[in-house]
Amino acid sequence: MDHSQQRRAITVLGATGSVGESTLDVIARNPDRFEVIALTAHRNVEDLARHCARFNARYAVISDATRLEALRSALAHHGATAEAQAGPQALLDAVAHPEVQVVMSAIVGAAGLAPTLLAAERGLTLLLANKESVVIAGQLLMDAARTSGAKILPVDSEHNAVFQALPARFDPLHPEALATCGVEKIILTASGGPFRDTPAAELEKVTPEQACAHPNWDMGRKISVDSATLMNKGLELIEAHWLFGARPDQLEVLIHPQSIVHSMVCYLDGSVLAQMGTPDMRTPIAHTLAWPDRCEAGVERLDLASAGQLSFSAPDTNRFPALNLAYEAMKVGRSAPITLNAANEIAVERFLQGAIGFNRIAAIVSRVLDETPTEEIRSIEDIMQHDHRVRARALEHCAGEER
């Protein structure tokens, strides 16, 4: 197919990360479909400059302003013509350049919120990987999309699977969206992570390296730890609540160690529609990039005959309490999901730094949730203030537990 008349102008936020680089890989396989406007990173100037040179990006944005000179040198070294920019405003500009039509939101953590929300406010096509921004600002994001007409396409593999299993007429902004399509519930699958079968007594001793060695997916370190605690699935429940308008009682989690069925939609006539594929983020990324068409993703094809058995079981919420914490935060609403996310980001960071044990992550999130009163959230400023307070509290708890 010739797409030369319709190359879409894209900004990739978090271009040096796992999702960001997979996005660039898919774009490289479909050069007639996309024109890269801006690529962003936090500190990694070397990879950012390399990608800018390869994709002929117009802007190279480093969010850590102290790295601007290093970025300029790296761009020169790689022969990239991109204009170097730095700092939080430059991150917003990467989305706001008038030519930008599509934004891949692949920054990790709450740091991705401001540019993600701006993309929704500007009515752009938002390819959403940065689940933390939906968890903490779901209402604001959906309201922004409702007002501006932005199209939010889920990149997270489970939500992308659900999106693919829903009818084309599904409108997430309709108040009865699932009911109108005859959907009873959504089942998110979870691999169970590297410690799926690890006895509870051994979980205290596991290392960051073991936690980051995911059996099926190759991901950034933060989401790898979230997968190991099952907090990732908890965040995904809240993400699904917002993206599909699902009530907490319409959302379930099933452990599926093979990561071949990426999620399922159950209809009131008894049908269950599942999306399958090899565990490779380039499939959901390519799906959103090409939507409503399809494009080549470079992904190994699924061979069910050699995949062997597919198994499913209920999650063990005693060994992995993070899942129930997320359910509770989703039910409470208001600022509770912000508390959950901020405490988790801090505890994961301290675990990755070797300061606290693995089991302490959920324990600290639980304590911070118990201690923090919920408040009404009306703006991004409300979110950031609540987020800062919770981070400070979570850091105190981590300091009290450090070994």
Task: Summarize as ranges the residues that interact with ligand NDP (CB under 6 A).
Answer: 14-20, 41-44, 63, 106-108, 111, 129-132, 156, 217, 219-220, 222-223, 281
Q: Which is nearer to ligand NDP, 181 or 261 (CB)?
A: 261
Give buried/exposed letters for 118-150 (b at 16+ CB in 10 A, else e): bbbbbebbbbbbbbbbbbbbbebbbebbeeeeb
User: Based on CB atoms, which residue is closest to ligand NDP, 181 or 255?
Assistant: 255
Closest Cα partner for 39 from 1, 5, 74? 74
As measured in angstroms, the least distance from the Cβ of 226 to ligand NDP is 7
Reading phi first (left if > 0) and then psi (alpha if -120 to 50, else beta), residue 50 is in alpha
Residue that is written with structure tokens 């005859």 in the block: 182
Q: Which is nearer to ligand NDP, 224 or 372 (CB)?
A: 224
What pairing do the DSSP bridges indicate for beta strands 272-276 and 261-267? antiparallel
Nearest distance from residue 343's CB to ligand NDP, in Å?
16
Give the H/E segment covering residue 178: helix 177-180
Task: Tell me how far, at minimum, the Cβ of 109 lies from ligand NDP, in Å.
Answer: 6
Specify the residue, 15 or 253, whose C-beta has the smaller distance to ligand NDP. 15
Give the strand pairing for 183-190 and 261-267. Answer: antiparallel
User: Using an 8 Å Cβ cutoff, are 79 and 53 in contact?
Assistant: yes
| Residue with Cβ nearer ligand NDP (181 or 193) | 193
- Minimum CB–partner distance for residue 228 and ligand NDP (Å): 13
- Radius of gyration (Cα) for the chain, nearest Å? 20
Minimum distance from residue 12 beta carbon to ligand NDP (Å)? 9
Nearer to ligand NDP (CB atom), residue 158 or residue 181: 158
Which residue has the CB atom at the shortest distance from ligand NDP? 17
**At its nearest, how many Å lie between ligand NDP and the CB of residue 39?**
9
Closest distance to ligand NDP from the beta carbon of 373 (Å): 27
- Is beta strand 102-105 parallel, antiparallel or unpaired with respect to 83-86? unpaired
Report the alpha-carbon distance of residue 62 to residue 74 in Å, rounded: 12
Which lies closer to ligand NDP via its Cβ, residue 8 or residue 43?
Answer: 43
